[in-house]
Amino acid sequence: MTIQQLQDALKHFKDNGVSHDPKHGGLQKVLDYQDLVARSTIPDTCAVYDQLPDDEKKLFHWVNFLTLSMDLALELVRETVIGKIQTESLSCFKDDLVHQSNQIDKLNKQVAKLTEENECLTRRVDQANYNDRSTSII
C-alpha cells in the first residue's frame, strides 16, 4: 500500500460516504479498499498511516470501522494509536529508570569509597590503640 493509494481511497469515501450499494459502485470501492488493506501487513499499514495528516488519520479509522471487520479495525487502532501512546509512555519510564540507575550507581560508588575510608580509619585507630597499650606496658 502506498500513501497515494490510501489517500485516494480515503478521499473517495470522504467525498461520497461509505456505501455498500452495488448499483452505484459503492460496494466495489469498499471491496477495493478491503483488498488494499488486506494486501498490506499491519506494520506496512502503520507506516503509511504515520505519513497521513491528522485529519486523514481520523478518516482512516472511520473508514476502517465501516468497511473492515471489527477485529481488524480494532487491531489497526491498537497498532496505530494505542501502541504509540504505550511506547511513548514506556519510553518516558525507561529514561527515568536509566536516570535512577545512574544515580544508584553513583551512590554505590560513594558508599564503597566511604566504606573503604572507614576501614582505613578503623585500622589506624586499632593500630594507635595497640601502640598505646604497647607503650604503657614498657
Residue type, 74: L
pLDDT tens per residue across span 121-133: 888 888 888 777 7
CA 70 to chain centre: 24
Contacts of 104 (CB under 8 A, 6+ apart): none
Residues in contact with 37: Cβ distance below 8 Å, sequence separation at least 6, in sequence order? 1, 45, 64, 68, 72
Cell (9 digits) for 84? 504509540
User: What is the distance between the alpha carbons of residues 61 and 51, in angstroms, rounded to a whole number?
Assistant: 14
Kindly provide the b/e burial profile for residues 89-107, where b requires at least 16 CB atoms within 10 angstroms of the residue's own CB. Answer: eeeeeeeeeeeeeeeeeee
pLDDT 10s per residue in the chain (138 long)?
A: 788 888 888 898 888 888 887 777 788 888 999 998 989 888 898 889 999 998 899 999 999 999 998 998 899 998 888 877 777 776 777 777 788 888 888 988 998 898 888 988 888 888 888 777 766 655
